[in-house]
Amino acid sequence: MADTPDGPWLTIVGIGEDGPNGLSSAAREALEKAALVAGAPRHLALLPALRAESLPWPVPFAAGVPMLLARRGDPTVLLASGDPFWFGAGSSITRHLRPDEWTAHPAPSTFSLAAARLGWALQDVECHGLHAAPLTRLRPGLVPGRRAILLLRDGQAAGELAAWLTEQGFGRSTLHVLEALGGPREHIRQCTAEAPDLADIAHPVAVGLSVAGEGRTLPRSSGIPDDWFDHDGQITKRPARALTLSALAPRPGETLWDIGAGSGSIAIEWLLAHSSTQAIAFEADPDRAARARANALHLGVDRLTVMEGRAPDILTGRTRPEAVFIGGGLSQSLLATLFALPGGPTRLVANAVTLESEALLAKWHADKGGDLLRIELAQAMPLGSRRGWRSAYPLVQWSVTL
């Protein structure tokens, strides 16, 4: 990192439960030269008396950023837990600074310490910071034999984790409760989720989770079974959903608009494709909008944004994302609006089941190109004492790049 002639004014120091004993010589030197040391009260208490002014960091975290920036230019140390750039405070601060204004000295993260205590290969373990995130974020990773290390807000959250795992059918999972790792208060205990022994847990707390049980495992392929979603019949069924996700082709970091979202199944499976994808669901019916939010939370993708309103009006003033799906409300005006909106290349997929909407897609396909696909599906069903095919309504799918 390039320094200004006087060097960076802010030093971000990762600190563990062992306090100054675990700090590098460069971190200790920054503390000695600092005019201001900021950090959570717990972190400040780990250090001996300082010559510098102390600034206890407020709650919520964002409230402290203006206080820090007001001291811009003063030699300042910001204390953070372990590795400040792994589920830590580092990037929340540095996004407000130029690269030459700061430097950092990380310490071992809680994830590293937990893996070292448990003997787990960290590259094979899911790591989650759940201080302010819902436990349902774990749902895609609940697979027997898998492991995860979880940072929790407090001891009560460990009990809530045990209860939730049991409710999901994974009560046989082992919880390694890791308290105050790396310091004199370090304590490690073990229990199962269905028989928790979680009284008097000291903060900070992490849990090493070994998943076990007979609970249902969420598939990772596109087109998960329909019964994973609560719906009122307004849902893109499993085979059509798999074909639709294939046409949308989610890629890391991309955003999807799901227009006429219904149960939210398309947007949710888009989000399940990669942890960095984003999705906005547009739904005119308030009950369906609420259902889409609940489905997303249940399946562990709490980053779904649901907007209540009718397209194309709700799209006014927006910039097209990388992908758009039209599952409901298909119309001439909606297609015209989407083509007119600003934005880079956008993969559009529209599904139609009525003769009118099919004719509309045929017209636009003739004008704009792309691929037009007719999907006809039939399912074996009882027919008297035998079986026969029951056909679903044919589905016409248009995919094109705007």
User: Mean pLDDT lowest for which of 192-196, 223-227, 232-236?
Assistant: 232-236
DSSP characters over 77-98 = EEEEESSTTSSSSHHHHHTTS-
User: Cα 137 to chain center, whole Å?
Assistant: 7
Could you tell me the pLDDT band of residue 28, with boundaries at 50, 70 and 90?
very high
More confident position, 3 or 46: 46
* 16: pLDDT strictly greater than 50: yes
d(CA 19, CA 24): 11
- Number of Cβ within 10 Å of residue 327's Cβ equals 28
Closest listed residue to residue 138, CA positions, set 231, 227, 211: 211
* 1: pLDDT strictly greater than 90: no
Q: What is the mean pLDDT of the chain?
A: 94
Could you tell me the pLDDT band of residue 6, with boundaries at 50, 70 and 90?
low
Could you tell me the pLDDT band of residue 7, with boundaries at 50, 70 and 90?
confident
The mean pLDDT value for 379-402 works out to 94
ω into residue 225 within 30 of 0, thus cis?
Answer: no
d(CA 242, CA 369): 22
Summarised one tens digit per residue, pLDDT across range 66-114 is: 999 999 999 999 999 999 999 989 999 999 999 999 999 999 999 999 9
d(CA 239, CA 245): 10
pLDDT of residue 233: 86
The mean pLDDT value for 116-129 works out to 97
Summarised one tens digit per residue, pLDDT across range 304-351 is: 999 999 999 999 999 999 999 999 899 999 999 999 999 999 999 999
pLDDT of residue 150: 98
* 197: pLDDT strictly greater than 90: no
122-131 CB contacts, 8 Å cutoff, 24+ apart: 125/149, 127/86, 127/87, 129/87, 130/157
* 4: pLDDT strictly greater than 60: no
Q: pLDDT over 90 for what percent of the chain?
A: 91
Contact 314, 307 (CB under 8 A): yes
d(CA 170, CA 151): 19
d(CA 5, CA 346): 45
Summarised one tens digit per residue, pLDDT across range 153-181 is: 999 999 999 999 999 999 999 999 999 99
End-to-end CA separation in angstroms for the chain: 40
pLDDT of residue 234: 82
Q: pLDDT over 70 for what percent of the chain?
A: 99
Polymer length in residues for the chain: 402
